[in-house]
């Protein structure tokens, strides 16, 4: 928990909210599956966006836990090489920057810490994030609200002074469970 004069908190999801990483994720998984000799269904993967990797991979391939771990490691390796396929969601990034004077800013993501840090660094945003909670930091992934609640506790700010920006059904469900103001970025005029 930290002490500060800021009394408000803005929490942003990363993939799909702050940055459009879909193409990079699809390509990294395609390369990982190809390297391990497994077929990859990009359409099925796209329908599972917003889920934690441990929920997604078993939908895509029937393999042992060791093979799942190898697939995850291979995806992380390839992901760093395809970040150029990602694009910032400019309006949400502007909103993120616009909150700096009045809000603490946190990222709560289902991505792994290395992948989240790589994306944020690639987009020039890592230095502006006060708190990053990635899949590695959270025991119960979205749709459980644990990550958002952990961010609120870190800053000692309750839901009445918190805004959460999300894009996926699982993320929105987790955000709504906190009692905070929830903004579905797909409902914003981002043009």
Q: What is the pLDDT of residues 128-171, one digit of tens each?
A: 999 999 999 999 999 999 999 999 999 999 999 999 999 999 99
Q: Write down the residue that tokens 């459980």 correspond to.
A: 144
Q: What percent of the chain has pLDDT over 90?
A: 83
Domains in the chain: boundaries: 8-20+87-187, 22-84
Angle between helices 22-35 and 65-79 (to 10 degrees): 130
Give the CA count within 13 Å in the CB-facing half-sphere of 97.
10
Which tokens sit at 88? 């910032």
- The whole-angstrom separation of Cα 21 and Cα 23 is 6
Confidence of residue 1 (pLDDT cuts 50, 70, 90): low
Quickly name the fold that domain 22-84 has: DNA polymerase; domain 1 (1.10.150)
- The whole-angstrom separation of Cα 66 and Cα 69 is 5
Q: Which are the contacts of 164, defined by CB distance < 8 A and separation ≥ 6?
A: 10, 11, 12, 108, 148, 175, 178, 180, 181, 182, 183
Selection from 191, 158, 175, 145 nearest residue 183 by Cα? 175
Q: What is the pLDDT of residues 22-70, one digit of tens each?
A: 999 999 999 999 999 999 999 999 988 877 888 888 889 998 999 999 9
CATH of domain 8-20+87-187: 3.40.50.1000
Selection from 15, 67, 18, 70 nearest residue 45 by Cα? 15
CA distances from 120 to 3, 10, 80, 117, 145 (A): 25, 16, 12, 5, 22
């Amino acid at each position: 928990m930290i002490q500060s004069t800021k009394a408000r908190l803005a929490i942003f999801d990363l993939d799909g909210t702050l940055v459009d990483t879909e193409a990079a994720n699809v390509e990294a998984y395609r390369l990982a599956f190809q390297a391990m000799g497994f077929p990859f269904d990009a359409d099925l993967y796209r329908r599972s966006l917003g889920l934690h990797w441990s929920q997604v991979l078993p939908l895509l391939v029937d393999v042992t836990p060791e093979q799942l771990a190898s697939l995850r490691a291979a995806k992380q390796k390839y992901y760093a090489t395809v970040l150029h396929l990602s694009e910032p969601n400019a309006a949400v990034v502007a909103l993120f920057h616009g909150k700096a004077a009045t809000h603490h800013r946190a990222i709560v993501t289902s991505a792994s810490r290395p992948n989240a840090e790589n994306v944020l660094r690639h987009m020039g945003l890592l230095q502006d994030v006060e708190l990053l909670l990635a899949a590695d930091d959270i025991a119960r992934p979205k749709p459980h609200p644990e990550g958002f609640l952990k961010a609120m506790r870190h800053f000692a700010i309750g839901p009445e002074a918190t805004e959460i920006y999300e894009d996926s059904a699982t993320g929105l469900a987790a955000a709504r469970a906190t009692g905070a103001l929830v903004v579905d970025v797909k409902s914003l005029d981002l043009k």
